[in-house]
Amino acid sequence: MLEAAKHLLTPSKRSNVPPFIVMDVMAAAAQLESKGVHIVHMEVGQPAAPAPATAIAAARAALEHGRIGYTETLGIPSLRARIARHYAEAYGLALDAGRVVVTTGSSGGFVLAFLALFEPGDRVALANPGYPPYRHILSALGCEPVLIETSAETRWALSAKALIAAHRQKPLAGVVVASPANPTGTMMDADALARLIAVAEAEGIRVISDEIYHGLDYAFSAETAAKLSERALVINSFSKYFCMTGWRVGWMVVPQSMVRAVDRLQGNLAISVPTLAQVAAQAAFDGKAEMEAVKHGYEENRRILTEGLPKAGLEKFLPVDGAFYLYADISKFSDDSLDFAKRMLNEAHVAATPGIDFDPVNGHNFLRFCYAGAAADMREAVARIGAWLKR
């Protein structure tokens, strides 16, 4: 009887996924702050700027004048239409709004996409380093994440050649590609992305394109997979470019044949995305001038770090093409990024995320810095890190 009772309190095996370490760093930083320590936050991939004024005004008006009830499962029709219009404005793509699905952030989109596209046991390729919840969600759903190493040879992006090599070794059901990428900030140009999609689809490998950092591109313009293939599934969000992380609203562009499957899944898992967030998201598109000003701030922060960190001692980092991340090589100082990050937090009072969160193979040699804060914070961080490393 005692053994039976223990079983009732035991979590499922599928729940045994690694923690998202960046959240642990955030919690440790908060503990120090509660003691009066000033921390420069560069750990969480979150804009310091608020949502655009247009979004906040629309939400306020909805609270004052409207009933906040359920919406249609796939999203408010006017928001879906506005997202489709965005593709015409940003990419020159005429997109059927019927293929747009509003989700609870990109995170909700990944759960829906993986459930709609893959069966338990399916192997799904991911670039390494990469966003940890890709592999954690896949594992929880019974799929097998397959990490494919990237290198300077391909500018730290997943190549068609590497994908096919992994597929020949053992068949893949899908691949997740991200440009700009987290944690590296590197990007794939349109030709490289088109080659990857064409090769994958020719082999029957389903493509999911994470485009959450679109709009935050500095080296060259990002291309959407939706323009390159109607079979690719695209995931995006209002969290990064539109500075709406806590609103938890994103979207997917799905192949026409998948719309009903995603509709059924979302209806059962969430009913619908929070109404207030959807109303604000639609109005966010009218705040583009405000968001472009925020983006220019990121560009300045990028300059401060790329010029300042080498002087501070962190001389090697991956190409800083887009998003708001810099992925720095710390092997000159440590081969334990978790310990390095803890010491930097406790001694220099700068919070950053250890590379092992993003790369279980080589992440012990890297640290991710988020530069979505204020320029003054970036300068302070460079000064603190330099003083700490040169002690």
Q: Are the beta carbons of 192 and 223 closer than 8 angstroms?
A: no
Check residue 67 and give its pLDDT: 84
Check residue 192 and give its pLDDT: 95
Strand intervals (E) in the chain: 40-41, 100-103, 123-128, 144-149, 174-178, 206-210, 233-237, 250-253, 325-329, 350-351, 353-354, 366-370
Check residue 4 and give its pLDDT: 67
Please list the ranges in the chain whose pLDDT falls under 50: none
Q: How far apart are CA 50 and CA 245, in angstroms?
A: 9
Distances from the Cα of 212 to the Cαs of 106, 208, 258, in angstroms?
7, 12, 21
Q: How far apart are CA 325 and CA 181, in angstroms?
A: 9
Q: Provide the token pair at 185.
A: 């900030």
Tokens 């992925």 sit at which residue?
327
Lateral strand order in the sheet of 353-354:
325-329, 366-370, 353-354
Check residue 1 and give its pLDDT: 57
Check residue 10 and give its pLDDT: 83
Quote the Cα angle for 89-107-305, to 5°: 70
329: Cβ contacts below 8 Å, ≥ 6 apart: 314, 316, 317, 365, 366
Q: How far apart are CA 29 and CA 12, in angstroms?
A: 31
- Tell me the pLDDT tens digit for each residue of 311-366: 999 999 999 999 999 999 999 999 999 999 999 999 999 999 999 989 999 999 99
Check residue 275 and give its pLDDT: 97
- Tell me the pLDDT tens digit for each residue of 210-239: 999 999 999 999 999 999 999 999 999 999
H or E element, residue 77: helix 77-91
